[in-house]
Structures are given as structure tokens and as C-alpha cells.
């Protein structure tokens, strides 16, 4: 039997039992939808999104992100979907799962979070709890979001309503590490609310929960998870740049070093997506606000942001070395998503390869069987190639290790190129001897 959730404050003698919990999930993307589906198996849940088309698709049990199957959505019998804020009436737990991107100047863009907070503020009632999962810098929940909820609701924080923070740990395209099987960090604005938030998540997370002493600690834990990976990948990317100049294969070096028991298994590559390539800028923004310049974090970001340019330049140099013309050459880029076997285009760094190639006045075609062509055009102004012709390209860049490309193998991929065309393998998906260059 599911345990009752604890009381929210000292003024309530009875806990809020599961049959009184009504949850609103604000934002139904890669994070919000799996959360809504999981909670919807146990509680009454309203999944809310401002995208009416997205809501209509979900009502038909179709998830374009491929994170939730039709069977999983149908199993969430307590879940309903809406784009009408009026349907949030009666909810007493609001979980915000909207994106937290950066702007053109690599500064935190909190507009989606602020908008979601206004939506929560207009719907929350006395005794309600607003829980945030979006990645932010330490202090943002209580300094940015809570004042908006207060202003919109007319309620007083930690008297009339409460807050929690439980950072998302969704890994798009990963069907082994799922929401329920990843330990959840939790926190609350009072000790009682922290207990409530922890128990709420513990009711669906089989891997367990880790309750922190404050919201700021939970915010910090989330942002450094991705910074640690970013900095480590940056180190390997810098080593790849050095070894390239020395004529040494980076992956062979890593294989040798990896024979030591405590060598960390990071590989060179493009660092995109909604987390690793974005989250560091949230902490560096806050650090600079308090007068500290984060040298290591920003240096890692500069290295990782330059890898797409490096890939393009290596390809062009190899073409030149072979006597292939570069002006008006045709190059095929295989893959646009930010990672393999996933349709997610958010902050994909493949676009950096495309931008650099175009500076050499080459014609670039992009093919990705996972990506929605309409979305690619909407987000990046790209017109995808559905079926690349064989024997027409001067170079092929394997940018994303989709299983469809692995199935083609080096021989199948080379068929797209002319005789003597360059094949560059960003992900080291193919054998070393089968390609002309790799990171």
C-alpha cells in the first residue's frame, strides 16, 4: 500500500493523502511528458502545454519525441492533457518542466521559466506547492520564480504556498536509464515541504530519492552534474586537437590509457543538447554576478564550442590534400540530432559544422532519418535531404552515430561519395582504417 504523503506545514494536522493530490505538469517536452505519464498511473494529473498541436497529439497517444510510448500513455489513466489554463483549477501541486535555454550572447534565458511561473501563480491556491525541475543557477527558484508566483497569486510564500526543487535527470533517447530508475534529488522551502516533495517523488521513483537541506543545494547539484561532464569532454577534445597536429590517433591513445583502472572513459566529440552545452552558462552567469570569473568552466566551453569548426576544417584540408576542388563542392552531412538514435535537435552542434563548411562556399546536404524535416527548417532554416543520391558527393561527414548509419557501414556510406571522396567520422563509429579522418 502506498504511504500517505506528509503534512505540508505545522498548521495542518492531517497529511495530504494521495487521493487529494492533484498534480499539474507545466511543459510536456522530453522532461515533462515522462513525468506526467509516471505520476498519471497513481494520481490525478493535468499535463499542460502552450503548444495546442502537441496537446492534440498527446490526446491521441502520440509522442513525437519518442520518450513515451502509446502503451505508457494509455496506462496513465489519471492523466489528461490541456492547453487551457482554466483546466489547472483545482490542482494543488504544480511541477514546472519548461526549457531553460541561453540567448545569442550565452546568457540564461529565463523567459520560459518566468512565463510558467505566471501560469502557476494564476492557478495556485492556499496550501499549494510549486516544484521546479528546470535547470537553473543556485538561487533562481526563490529569487526569480517564487516572487512571480507571489505577485500573480496574491499569496505569501511559505505561509500560503510553498516551493520545491527536484532537478530533472532525463537522458533523451536512453531507454535503459528511465525516469523511475534514476535516483531523484529533492528539496523543499521548509523541512515539512521537503518531506512532502521527497515522499511524492519516492512514490514513483524505484531508484530512490536524495533529499537535500535546501533548494539552493539541489539547484547547485543539478548544474554541476553537467559541468563536470562538459569540462571532462573539453579536456579530451583539447587532447584530440593536440594529437591531430601530432599525427596520432586519439582513440588509439584513449584505448591504451583506458587500460588503467581509474582512467575516465570520456571521448572527443560535439557537445550539444539541452543540458551539457547550456547548463554551464547558468553557473558562470551567477558566478560573474558575485564577482568571480570561472576560468576552467568557460575555457572548457570555448573548446567544446569550437569542435564543429575543427571537423569542417579537417574535412576541407583533406579534400585539398587530395587535390579535390572545394569551391562549389558537394558535401553530405549524415546526422543533425544532438545525439544518436534520438530526434532531439535542441542545441545541436552539427550546425557549427554546416556553418563552417558554407564559409568555404561548398554545397551542403543534410540527411537524418530521426529528425522531423519541418522542425529542422523551423529551428535552423535547413532543408533536409530525404534520400541522398549515390556517387555525387566530394566528401561525407558522419556526424551522428545513428543505428541506420552503423548498419550502412563504411562501404554503404562511401557509396554516397564520388571515387576518392573524403569520409570523416566524428563519432568513431566506423573502423579507423575505413575512414579518412576522425576526432
Query: What are 396's three cell numbers?
Result: 561525407
Q: Give SS3 for 375.
A: helix
222, 135 Cβ separation under 8 angstroms? yes
Give the closest residue to 94 by CA, choosing from 142, 137, 32: 32
Output the CA angle 21-122-205, nearest 5 degrees: 30
Give the closest residue to 230 by CA, choosing from 320, 173, 306, 298: 298
The H or E element that residue 148 is part of is helix 146-153
119, 48 Cβ separation under 8 angstroms? yes
Instruction: Name every residue whose Cβ is closer than 8 Å to that of residue 395 and which is 6 or more positions away in sequence.
Output: 315, 318, 319, 324, 329, 331, 332, 417, 421, 422, 423, 424
Give the closest residue to 269 by CA, choosing from 163, 400, 419: 400
CA-CA distance, 337 to 344, in Å (whole number)? 5
Give the closest residue to 299 by CA, choosing from 311, 284, 286: 284
271, 307 Cβ separation under 8 angstroms? yes
Q: Is 83 annotated as catalytic?
A: no
CA-CA distance, 329 to 392, in Å (whole number)? 10
83, 91, 145, 275: which is the annotated catalytic residue? 275
> Which residues are designated catalytic?
275
Amino acid at each position: 500500500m502506498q504511504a500517505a504523503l506528509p503534512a505540508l506545514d505545522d498548521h495542518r494536522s492531517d497529511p495530504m493523502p494521495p487521493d487529494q493530490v492533484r498534480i499539474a505538469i507545466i511543459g510536456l517536452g522530453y522532461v515533462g511528458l515522462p513525468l506526467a505519464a509516471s505520476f498519471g498511473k497513481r494520481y490525478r494529473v493535468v499535463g499542460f502545454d502552450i503548444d495546442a498541436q502537441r496537446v492534440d497529439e498527446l490526446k491521441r497517444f502520440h509522442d513525437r519525441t519518442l520518450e513515451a510510448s502509446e502503451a505508457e500513455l494509455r496506462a496513465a489513466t489519471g492523466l489528461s492533457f490541456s492547453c487551457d489554463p482554466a483546466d489547472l483549477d483545482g490542482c494543488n501541486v504544480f511541477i514546472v518542466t519548461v526549457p531553460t535555454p541561453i540567448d545569442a550572447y550565452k546568457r540564461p534565458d529565463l523567459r520560459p521559466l518566468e512565463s510558467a511561473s505566471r501560469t502557476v501563480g494564476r492557478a495556485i491556491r492556499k496550501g499549494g506547492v510549486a516544484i521546479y525541475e528546470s535547470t537553473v543557477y543556485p538561487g533562481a527558484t526563490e529569487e526569480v520564480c517564487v516572487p512571480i508566483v507571489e505577485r500573480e497569486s496574491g499569496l505569501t510564500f511559505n505561509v500560503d504556498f510553498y516551493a520545491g526543487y527536484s532537478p530533472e535527470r532525463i537522458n533523451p533517447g536512453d531507454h535503459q536509464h528511465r525516469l523511475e530508475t534514476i535516483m531523484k534529488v529533492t528539496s523543499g522551502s521548509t523541512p515539512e515541504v521537503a518531506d512532502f516533495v521527497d515522499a511524492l517523488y519516492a512514490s514513483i521513483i524505484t531508484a530512490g530519492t536524495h533529499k537535500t537541506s535546501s533548494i539552493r543545494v539541489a539547484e547547485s547539484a543539478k548544474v554541476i552534474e553537467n559541468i563536470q561532464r562538459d569540462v571532462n569532454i573539453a579536456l579530451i577534445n583539447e587532447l584530440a586537437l593536440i594529437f591531430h597536429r601530432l599525427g596520432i590517433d586519439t582513440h588509439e591513445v584513449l584505448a591504451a590509457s583506458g587500460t588503467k583502472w581509474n582512467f575516465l572513459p570520456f571521448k572527443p566529440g560535439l557537445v550539444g543538447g539541452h543540458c551539457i552545452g547550456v547548463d554551464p552558462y547558468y553557473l558562470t552567469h551567477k558566478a560573474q554576478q558575485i564577482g568571480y570569473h570561472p576560468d576552467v568552466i568557460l575555457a572548457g566551453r570555448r573548446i567544446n564550442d569550437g569542435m564543429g569548426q575543427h571537423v569542417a576544417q579537417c574535412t576541407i584540408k583533406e579534400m585539398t590534400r587530395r587535390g579535390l576542388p572545394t569551391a562549389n563542392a558537394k558535401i553530405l552531412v549524415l546526422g543533425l540530432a544532438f545525439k544518436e538514435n534520438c530526434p532531439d535537435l535542441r542545441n545541436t552542434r552539427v550546425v557549427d559544422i554546416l556553418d563552417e563548411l558554407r564559409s568555404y562556399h561548398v554545397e551542403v546536404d543534410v540527411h537524418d532519418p530521426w529528425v522531423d524535416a519541418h522542425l529542422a527548417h523551423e529551428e535552423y532554416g535547413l532543408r533536409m535531404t530525404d534520400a541522398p543520391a549515390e556517387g555525387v558527393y566530394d566528401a561525407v561527414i558522419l556526424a551522428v552515430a545513428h543505428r541506420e548509419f552503423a548498419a550502412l557501414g563504411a562501404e554503404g556510406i562511401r557509396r554516397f561519395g564520388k571515387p576518392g571522396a573524403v569520409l570523416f567520422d566524428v563519432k568513431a563509429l566506423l573502423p579507423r582504417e575505413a575512414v579518412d579522418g576522425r576526432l
